[in-house]
Structure 1
Amino acid sequence: MTRTNKLKYTSVEICAGAGGQAVGLHNAGFKHAALVEIDKDACQTLRDNTEEDSEWSCKVIEADLRQFDSADLGLKPGELDLLAGGVPCPPFSAAGKQLGRDDERDLFPRMLELVDELEPKAVMIENVRGLLDPKFAEYRQEIIKRLESMGYEECYWEVLEAKRYGVPQLRPRAILVAMKPEYAEHFQHAKPDVRDEVSVGAALHDSMRARYDAVADDPRAEKVFKDWHDRAVEGVAPTVVGGSKKHGGADLGPTRAKRAWAGLGVCGLGVANEVDVMLKKKTWERDLFAVVGEEPGEKPGEEPEMILGPKLTVSQAAIIQGFPESWKFSGLKTAAYRQVGNAFPPPVAQAVGEQIYAAFESAAKARRD
């Protein structure tokens, strides 16, 4: 990922997580005034990746959004260009029982309060595609009416599929963009242009090669690497899931997802150690030679041959999410993996951010002319 625009417009992001949306918007040309997040490990991830980078130099605010005071941002109403956020998904996801407004985790009301308090030029909200199900039609309409009452125009509320934006993963996300009318009239009222699809094999080739090269003395290494690549070279991954803190440990999702990962030559029963830890703890048998499936014997009665393959590391899961390889995650392995699994893919955020940026630029040009 590369930055496509000059850092020019300001943004504040709530529910920032580990920074997926922040990375994408930064690359689209938005300079973050603040990133607000409740999880301490995710906040540390944000600090670790931004504090020493002069291009970022933003505040990381660890806070529960319900108690967060927007006055702490030091921004006058109307001064902010973009307010963005991925409010919690469980109220609208199948896994979260789709309780919507009746779910105590629903932060849409607080997001709208912040819009009212800050009066940004544009608003961008990300959530699961379940939010666009018919059962939430009335709730969506209430949100739009509230935005309209504050002087905003809906630009679109659409499902964007991450794989169409260079993310090697099936990850549909519902994106709402609303802008003040003087900017909305310059907005391209359509989904962002799609980008080339990237396979899991292409995305992970170099990192997987390095992992097997680290155990090159094992006679199985080359064959298992090749078998993995042959399976992954054309496919995209199922949705990477982070799970909740109530879940015991990190893995690649429910049974159907694990089956899809197995088709890509990956074992979904856990997350692997990074190379240095793997070598130190000698966990390569578990991390690189896990049982992925089995091939039936060629002759009747012949024992099936076990198919071996890797588990993914946290850094590889982050690549599947579209993070740049330079972005590092704080906390123990399970905490780090959850940050990755709950993230908004940066390339999708960048594509939407570029549309918002272009509308601002067009509006500015129109004022000059």
Structure 2
Amino acid sequence: MNSIELFTGAGGLALGTHQAGFRHRGLVEWDEDACDTLRKNASAKAVPGIEHWRIHHTDVRLLPFDMFGNGDIDLVAGGAPCQPFSLGGKHRAQDDSRNMFPEFARAVRELQPRAFILENVKGLLRTSFSDYFEYIKLQLTYPTVTKKHAEDWTEHRARLEKVHTRGRFPGVHYNVVSQLLNAANYGVPQLRERVFIVGFRADTGLEWSFPEPTHSEDALLWDKYITGAYWKRHGLRQRSSEKGVALSGVRMRDLEDGEPIKTKPWVTIRDAIADMPTPRADRESKEFSNHRLMPGAKVYPGHTGSPIDMPSKTLKAGVHGVPGGENMIAFEDGSVRYLTVREAARVQSFPDAWHFEGAWSEVMRQLGNAVPVGLAEVVAKSVAAKLEGAGAAPAHSETSFTRDD
């Protein structure tokens, strides 16, 4: 199945969709260091099958999407720049020049794929952005109902609402669903919440829902404080229910007396890096690329690091350098240190063969902006299975147009 990837960054979503079976016709990214990361890994064949990736280092607004084919693209995927909606950004939303949701909608309109996957930060769901979030989904539902030249987004949204409430539309349209997913609930060693918007072209007749979580905190607590399996796995003495876990007696009884837990335990930082050597500041590891200690990690109010026996806090890109509180490991003795690039890559579920290009702060920015590969793969595999089950479908013959009603 053919796909294109927009706003590729360091390749988190692209790797997930690739591993789900999609063949990328092109990957689009404007950041030079991220493009270097993609090119180097493609040329090194870091992951089987990516040596044919075609990386386009350009502003997506300048790109004619018909260059990727006409009518044979099965999936358009991308993580539009999150800074306009991020809790750590300037919150300018639709007024931010980095708002690329209209370009994603243009790709869907011009390529008319059988499905699309769009992801973004949790901040997109804030009350202050709710109207624009609904507007994004309406644009993707009816991508051929285009915005008029003199129309602002609220006027366009009102027109889309009229089309939607009418309940019938003869042109190309998509059945769109959205959900907030926590990467930790799908086996990623990080508490990272991302909004996914997924759509299937209506003429495919396909029904789809988001995959159910496979991992849980309750399962991790069971392994730690009831069976002790977690500590045994790491060759450590079993810990008690310490204050940091905040387990009440009621919670413990609920776990002991409740139904069997069907999910797997959350994956912790210790789980993720257990087989790696302790990093050194004077040289990089010979076994693992990008595994070198960056000194200088400090605790300060609101920035205390991620406990090693829990999934990491959300890795962040930072506006002014690396945000240390989110990108540190907090050990049981009270000490902290920065995650190395390789450890951060594992927290983002990148394969060890995936090498990152650029200075430390730039690479950590790439990682902080990335979609966890494991989470992307879970969603993409579910979409791929539905598309494969339906077989090839003819592309819709409609092209973009504007409706006045």
Task: Name the TM tier (shorter chain).
Answer: 0.7 to 0.9
Correspondence for 2:233:
none
**Contact residue 12 and residue 35 of structure 1 kept, 8 A:** yes
Residues 11-30 of structure 1 aligned to structure 2 (within 5 Å): 11-30=3-22
Task: Give the alignment of 1:205-284 within 5 angstroms.
Answer: 205-209=274-278, 234-244=309-319, 247=320, 249-253=321-325, 257=326, 261=328, 263-264=330-331
Structure 2 vs 1, CA of residues 16 and 28 (structure 1 numbering), >3 Å: closer, same or farther? same
The answer for the alignment partner of 2:40 in structure 1 is 48
What is the aligned residue count?
A: 292
State the SS of the aligned residue for 1:178. Answer: strand
Query: Does residue 359 of structure 1 match 2:386?
Result: yes
2:140 aligned partner = 147
Residue 185 (str. 1) matches residue 206 (str. 2):
yes
Residue 328 of structure 1 deviates from its aligned partner by 0.4
Q: Which amino acid aligns with 1:250?
A: V
Question: The residue matched to 1:66 in structure 2 has which SS?
Answer: helix
Q: Is the 8 A contact 2:88 2:318 kept in 1?
A: no
Tell me if the contact between 1:242 and 1:342 (Cα under 8 Å) persists in the aligned partners.
Answer: yes
Output the amino acid matched with 2:31: D
Structure 2 stretches of 5 or more lacking a match? 144-171, 216-263, 285-305, 395-405
1:118 aligns with 2:145: no
Of residues 342, 346, 349, the one that matches 1:315 is 342
How many Å apart are 1:341 and its aligned residue?
1.4
Identity, in percent, stands at: 35
Question: For residue 236 of structure 1, what is the amino acid of its counterpart?
Answer: P
**Counterpart in the other structure of 1:61:** 56
Check 1:14–1:52 CA distance in 2 against 1; reply closer, same or farther (3 A cut).
same
- Runs of 5+ unmatched residues, structure 1: 1-8, 216-230, 266-294, 296-306
Aligned partner of residue 35 in structure 1, secondary structure: strand
- State the AA in 1 paired with 2:29: E
* Letter in structure 1 aligned against 2:27: L
Question: 2 CA distance for matches of 1:184 and 1:346?
Answer: 29
CA distance, structure 2, for counterparts of residue 206 and residue 232 of structure 1: 18
**Among 61, 74, 80, which residue is 2:73 paired with?**
80
2:93 maps to what in 1?
Answer: 100
Give 1 or 2: higher helix fraction. Answer: 1
* Inter-partner Cα distance in structure 1 for 2:210 and 2:205: 12
Q: For residue 362 of structure 1, report the CA deviation from its aligned partner.
A: 2.0
- Name 1:33's counterpart in structure 2: 25
> Quick check: 2:204–2:393 contact (8 Å CA) kept in 1?
no
Give the Å deviation of 1:157. Answer: 0.5
| Alignment-mate amino acid for residue 180 of structure 2 | V
CA 184–208 in structure 1, closer or farther in 2 if over 3 Å, else same: farther
Aligned CA distance change for structure 1 residues 191 and 152 (closer, same or farther; 3 Å): farther
Residue 82 of structure 1 aligns with an amino acid whose one-letter code is L
Q: 1:262 to 1:325 in 2, by over 3 A?
A: closer
Q: Is 1:194 matched with 2:214?
A: yes
| Separation of aligned partners in 2, 1:18 and 1:203 | 20
Are the structure 2 counterparts of residues 144 and 170 from structure 1 closer, same or farther at C-alpha, using a change threshold of 3 Å? same
Structure 1 SS opposite 2:84: helix
Aligned equivalents of 1:86, 1:350: Cα separation in 2: 14
Is residue 157 from structure 1 mapped to residue 178 from structure 2 by the alignment? yes
Cα distance in 2 for residues equivalent to 1:119 and 1:320: 34
TM-score by length of 2: 0.66
